């Protein structure tokens, strides 16, 4: 008896039975509501990416697992976000991408095999001073600290 009254009370169509505008189903009541349009790249980031946070060192690089990656010299000592997806690793500060790398996975699809194809983006954080210890900042170097 209690189960029958709960089903009747919680039934969404039953809940709308007394409406005066002749809308008796959730679709009729909420038909005017439209969701936000999302770009496929945004959906990939939301559902298929993992986010990490690291602090850039004095040279604008950060350490991710056993890799040393370039972010931006002008953001030394700032926190940066890393977004790891199936195909890319992106270094960001705020909403601005700093660098992006292609990634390859081990056969288990969990561990990174390699990070390659560095792409450094021009940002408003770029320092006018070249880092003389590293050479040209446009030639991004990926360094692995892994023992072979």
Asked whether 76 and 56 are in contact (CB, 8 A), the reply is yes
User: What is the arithmetic mean of pLDDT over 122-126?
Assistant: 89
CA 140 vs CA 70, 73, 99: distances in Å: 7, 12, 9
Distance, in Å, from the CA atom of 10 to the CA atom of 96, rounded to the nearest integer, reads 46
Predicted confidence at residue 97, as pLDDT, reads 94
pLDDT digits (tens, 9 = 90+) for 29-60: 777 777 888 888 777 767 767 889 999 999 99
For residue 103 the two structure tokens come to 């990634």
Residue 55's contacts (CB-CB under 8 Å, 6 or more residues apart) are: 62, 77, 78, 79, 80
Residue 138's pLDDT is 47
How many Cα atoms occupy the beta-carbon half-sphere of 111 within 13 Å? 5
Closest to 97 measured CA to CA, from 60, 134, 123: 123
Determine whether 68 is exposed, middle or buried from the number of CB atoms within 10 Å of its CB (0-12, 13-18, 19+). Answer: middle
Note the pLDDT tens digit of each residue in 56-91.
999 999 999 989 999 999 999 999 999 998 899 999
> What's the pLDDT at 67?
92
Query: Does 133 score more than 70 pLDDT?
Result: no
């Amino acid at each position: 008896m209690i189960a029958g009254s709960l089903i009747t009370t919680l039934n969404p169509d039953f809940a709308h039975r007394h409406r005066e505008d002749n809308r008796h189903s959730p679709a009729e009541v909420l038909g005017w509501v439209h969701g936000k349009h999302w770009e496929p790249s945004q959906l990939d980031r939301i559902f298929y990416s993992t986010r990490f946070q690291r602090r850039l060192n004095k040279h604008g690089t950060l350490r991710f697992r056993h890799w040393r990656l370039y972010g931006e010299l002008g953001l030394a000592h700032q926190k940066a976000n890393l977004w790891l997806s199936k195909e890319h690793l992106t270094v960001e500060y705020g909403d601005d991408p700093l660098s992006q790398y292609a990634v390859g996975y081990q056969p288990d699809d969990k561990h990174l095999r390699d990070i390659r194809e560095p792409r450094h983006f021009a940002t408003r954080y770029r320092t006018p001073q070249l880092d003389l210890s590293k050479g040209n900042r446009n030639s991004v170097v990926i360094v692995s600290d892994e023992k072979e």
